[in-house]
Structure 1
């Protein structure tokens, strides 16, 4: 069991949810991803494009988030263009492992970020969950760079 939430977590570049993580030419770290709110009983869910920026040291700087609309009516062409536009806005990048601090921001009535969650039971570990959508979950050791989906 870990004593508390991490101050930094590692995310290794891969061909899945961490395809676009790395460093910009000026040394900042970035994570470009597609969070979502699943459809529920009372709503259609939402799709987003999120670009999270961090200092070279891993301290959170800012979140640039685009709301793409309801999941059921998502315009795939427009969504891809938004995503590619965010990636292009970074200029020259290197896709590589990042080590960043957990954070959260509220936009569009939704909480986004790498959010620490305390243990549910004695003997359990802290987790850091990518929200919304809970599609990447990190657990100790925090420097492993691996995640569960």
Structure 2
């Protein structure tokens, strides 16, 4: 049983939830994602990290309640945020768990502490929990 607190999480670029991750021209790492609170609010979140994986900037926008906005509206906001990065290269990133309080909601890659000896450390993309990372932290793999 693994039981090491996560310090640095590898996220490997893919065509699913890790589609828009990589590096900017200045070497910063980025992660563009769409967290959501079920039956409440959907967001677009752009997180930027330094080369050591420390969060250095976050840009979070409220889309609204599911069904209260069009796919075209969401796509435009998402693409505008992606374009705001300038020249980018998609690829794997290594970042530290973090949390940002926005709209009275904790948003980020948040560490889950084991509740008992049979439980494992995890890092979950919250809200929504649609990406969950477990040891080994450098595998780049996540559960959905």
TM-score by length of 1: 0.93
Unaligned stretches of 5+ residues in structure 2: none
3-state DSSP of counterpart to 1:148:
coil
Count matched residues. Answer: 144
The separation in 1 between residues aligned to 2:26 and 2:80, in whole angstroms, is: 19
Structure 2 residue aligned with 1:51: 46
Structure 2 residue aligned with 1:70: 65
The separation in 1 between residues aligned to 2:103 and 2:43, in whole angstroms, is: 10
What is the Cα deviation at residue 124 of structure 1?
2.5
For the 8 Å contact 1:47–1:74, the answer to whether it is kept is no
**Matching residue within 74, 82, 88 for 1:79:** 74
TM-score by length of 2: 0.96
Unaligned stretches of 5+ residues in structure 1: 40-44
- 1:7 aligns to 2:11 (yes or no): no
The separation in 2 between residues aligned to 1:5 and 1:75, in whole angstroms, is: 40
What is the Cα deviation at residue 74 of structure 1?
2.2
The separation in 2 between residues aligned to 1:5 and 1:131, in whole angstroms, is: 18
Superposition RMSD on alpha carbons, in Å? 1.0
Bigger drift between 90-99 and 71-80 goes to 71-80
